[in-house]
Amino acid sequence: MEYNEILNSLKDEYVHKYVVRFKDGSKKTLKLWNNGGVAVMDKGKRRRGHFLHSIADNYANWESITLYENSCDIFKRVIKRAKKAFEMLSESGLWTEHKIILERFLNMSGEDQKEIVNKLCDDSYAFYLLCTDGKSDYSWIGSCYHLFEQFIKEKCWKSINWMEGLRETYTEYLKNCIEHKEHYSHKWYKGYDNSIEVNLCTDGILRGWYSEEYKGCGNGHYYMLLDATHAIHIEDD
């Protein structure tokens, strides 16, 4: 495809998912927007991207570009996962501030729920700004935004990457620490530099974190614990 052809195919200046079909028949999903040119969201990033490049992105081999349409009912997916997350936080006692936000969302009318999901799906970054600016009608969602962002994705829940043969032992120990609101911290190596921590914070809220960092790097994937067996993605660094 020609560069201008790709630029003219973009819906507007907001970030949207597009399906790129290559001349060999293969397909790839990209997040694109018009930023005075064709901008591409970097993989795994929410706010970082680059301008389309003839060599790096190989757009000369693009056959077509179409707006992504998910065959799954995203709204039903979000409601189901919000309920599951609420149940897990209710049982574990972790992140009570997020549990309150999820409860408010689940008690809203279906139309109001759909409005939130539609805004999130249409432009996730713009919705992130609405949730965190402290001024909009969606500012009550606040830092709980990242939960909703994960609810719309194909995969949502993350299991702890325990050492082989020790999963049951460590899971039970972690569960007991959460139940008794005891501080817990553990690090180990298995493919990543893994770490997990549970802490009763000074505001009286019990919180838990899990990370998988590249060996000796200090960068990687970061999650919040929902209970002793489930985590959900927060960010990549």
pLDDT single digits (tens) 152-200:
988 899 999 999 899 999 999 999 999 999 999 999 999 999 999 999 9
- 223 & 171 share domain: yes
- 171 & 230 share domain: yes
- 140 & 183 share domain: no
Q: Output the pTM of the full model.
A: 0.71
3-class DSSP string for the chain: CCHHHHHHHCCCCCCEEEEEEECCCCEEEEEEEECCCEEEECCCCCCCEEECCCCCCCHHHEEEEEECCCCCCHHHHHHHHHHHHHHHHHHHCECHHHHHHHHHHHCCCHHHHHHHHHHHHHCHHHHHHHHHCCCCCCCCCHHHHHHHHHHCCCCCEECCCCCCCCHHHHHHHHHHHHHCCCCEEEEEEECEEEEEEEEECCCCCEEEEEEEECCCCCCEEEEEECCCCCEEEEEEC
- 87 & 137 share domain: yes
In this model, does residue 151 exceed pLDDT 60? yes
What pLDDT score does 38 carry?
Answer: 92
| Rounded mean pLDDT, 29-47 | 85
- 143 & 91 share domain: yes
- 147 & 122 share domain: yes
What pLDDT score does 78 carry?
Answer: 95
- 149 & 208 share domain: no
- 140 & 207 share domain: no
- 79 & 150 share domain: yes
Where is the domain boundary, 21, 51, 67?
A: 67
What pLDDT score does 71 carry?
Answer: 47
| Rounded mean pLDDT, 120-136 | 87
pLDDT single digits (tens) 53-94:
888 888 999 999 988 866 458 899 999 999 999 999 999 999
Where is the domain boundary, 12, 38, 67?
A: 67
| Rounded mean pLDDT, 215-237 | 92
- 62 & 7 share domain: yes
- 35 & 78 share domain: no
High-pLDDT (> 90) share of the chain, %:
66
Which of the four pLDDT bands, split at 50, 70 and 90, describes residue 6? very high
What pLDDT score does 57 carry?
Answer: 87
- 125 & 190 share domain: no
Where is the domain boundary, 36, 51, 67?
A: 67
Q: What is the mean pLDDT of the chain?
A: 91
* Parent domain of 201: 158-236
